Structure 1
Amino acid sequence: MIVIDKLCYNSRLRYENASEKFAFAVITLCICVMSRSAAVAGIVLAVTGILTVWKGGVPVLRYLKFLTVPLAFLFLSTIAIMFNLKRTPMDFFAIPIGNWYLTASFHSFFYAIQLILTALAAVSCLYFLSFTTPMPDILEVLKKLRCPKLLIELMLLIYRFIFVLLDIASAISTSQNCRLGNRNYKTSLKSFGLLGSVLMIRAVQRSNRLYDAMEARCYDGTIRVLSENQPPKKKVIVAIVLFDTALFIFAVWRRFFS
């Protein structure tokens, strides 16, 4: 089982209404991205982190570990924004390289920090939803929003096959380790290639078996999944409306009046 799913099913917010959590995460994410404000991103990052860790019960170190996953990509993607190669130095710093300068300005530096904070805040919104809401509940919310049935069924099947592929890959990897298939770099590369090819074949075989099983159970083009409907709470809805309204007003004020 994937670690995120373990944390999700053990979360103290697991049995809260899925529509409320979905609405909070999506609306907050949209406000954060559209505002392009470091202050708004900081508020969103703090609130979603507190809800996920304090209310949801996710371990702090585990949450921080997941939050650092996109940092490498963010740093690499902001290097091109922050640093410039020019003949004239800029106001933040400048490192001479022959007749050129590796330089940066205060504007580009703070813009890169703003992008990193906004991206982390957006990821924290998605983590809040992922760590507190199981996939079947998210699909049920999408069904209520009238998303195409084909899209929902594809998401369900992909979600299912993630576990199937992980199970097959784990079994093959264990078998290779028992046969010293990873004793050095050369054999590790060979084993990895064999694992990928066998995994592809096994995945096709399992998908065919799954479709045959669905046909044997009178599959009519719709996958029906039982869901647990939790009643919405008025105080939670009011809290979401008040927070997102205040966040939107603050974002507009920061964008146009500060």
Structure 2
Amino acid sequence: MIVIDKLCYHSRLRYENAGEKFAFAIITLCICVMSRSIAVAGIVLAVTGVLTVKKGGVPVSRYLRFLTAPIIFLLLSTIAIMFHLSRTPMDMFAVPVGSWYITTSYSSFFYAVQLIFTALGAVSCLYFLSFTTPMPDILQVLEKLHCPKLLMELMLLIYRFIFVLLDTASALSTSQNCRLGNRDYKTSLKSFGMLGSVLMIRAVERSNRLYASMEARCYDDTIRVLSENQPPKKSVIAAIVVFDSALFLFAVWRRFFS
């Protein structure tokens, strides 16, 4: 099992109603993205973080580690928005490079920070859903929303094949380590190349065997998964409605009246 899947099944929110968690995550994500407000994104980031860590029981260090990857990606991707190469210096700062300037303006800097916080807020909503709701429960919610069956089956098969791929890669990597395939940099590069080439072949073979075993068990193009139905709680629904309504009103106020 991958780390996110382990955290999900050990979460203290695991047995809460999946529809409530799905609705909270998606509605909050939409409000965060549409508002494009640093304040709204900060509220979303704080609330979903507290729910995931405090209520869900995910360790703080592990949660911050998962946030590190999108933060690094966002910082690198917003460099082009924040900094400009121009012959005319802008109002925030300008570093002369010959007859050109590496420069930026306050508006560009604010826009980059706004994008970073908005994206982090959206990611935190998805992390909340991923760390508290198993894939079968999410598929059950999508089924109730009349999502196409083909799409849901593709999601479930791809999700299952991720574990097949990781298991195959782990076995190959262990075999290489036992044969001192990573004793130095040159050998590690060679082993990594061989790992990639063999992994594709082995993964296809295992996926074919998996599909054959499904057909041997009377697979009829419909994957049936047992799910645990947890009744919705009125108090939780009320809390979601109050929070998202207040967040929406605050986003509207920030956008049009501040």
Range of TM-score over shorter length: over 0.9
Q: TM-score when scaled to structure 1?
A: 0.98
Report the Cα distance in structure 2 between the residues aligned to 1:215 and 1:160, rounded to whole angstroms.
16
Task: After superposition, give the CA deviation of every residue in 1:96-143 in whole Å (9 maximum; x if it has no partner).
Answer: 111111111111111111111111110000000001001111111111
> Offset of 1:198 from its aligned partner?
1.4
**Counterpart in the other structure of 1:135:** 135
Amino acid at match of 2:223: I
> Offset of 1:185 from its aligned partner?
2.0
> Offset of 1:171 from its aligned partner?
0.9
SS of residue in 2 equivalent to 1:208: helix
**Counterpart in the other structure of 1:60:** 60
Report the Cα distance in structure 1 between the residues aligned to 2:80 and 2:118, rounded to whole angstroms.
17
Task: After superposition, give the CA deviation of every residue in 1:155-204 in whole Å (9 maximum; x if it has no partner).
Answer: 11111111111111111111111111111222212211211121111111
**Counterpart in the other structure of 1:223:** 223
Report the Cα distance in structure 2 between the residues aligned to 1:208 and 1:177, rounded to whole angstroms.
27
> Offset of 1:83 from its aligned partner?
0.6
Q: Which runs of 5+ in 2 are unaligned?
A: none
**Counterpart in the other structure of 1:92:** 92
**Counterpart in the other structure of 1:146:** 146
SS of residue in 1 equivalent to 2:78: helix
Moved more, 186-195 or 172-181: 186-195
SS of residue in 2 equivalent to 1:69: helix
Amino acid at match of 1:213: S
Report the Cα distance in structure 2 between the residues aligned to 1:109 and 1:234, rounded to whole angstroms.
43
The equivalences for 1:111-126 within 5 A come to: 111-126=111-126
Report the Cα distance in structure 2 between the residues aligned to 1:85 and 1:193, rounded to whole angstroms.
39
Moved more, 32-41 or 82-91: 82-91
**Counterpart in the other structure of 2:162:** 162
Amino acid at match of 1:178: C
Amino acid at match of 1:88: T
Moved more, 51-60 or 210-219: 210-219
What is the percent sequence identity of the aligned residues? 84
Report the Cα distance in structure 2 between the residues aligned to 1:93 and 1:23, rounded to whole angstroms.
44
Q: TM-score when scaled to structure 2?
A: 0.98
SS of residue in 2 equivalent to 1:68: helix
Report the Cα distance in structure 2 between the residues aligned to 1:178 and 1:170, rounded to whole angstroms.
12
Report the Cα distance in structure 1 between the residues aligned to 2:217 and 2:109, rounded to whole angstroms.
59
Q: Which aligned segments of 4 or more residues in structure 1 are displaced greater than 6 angstroms?
A: none
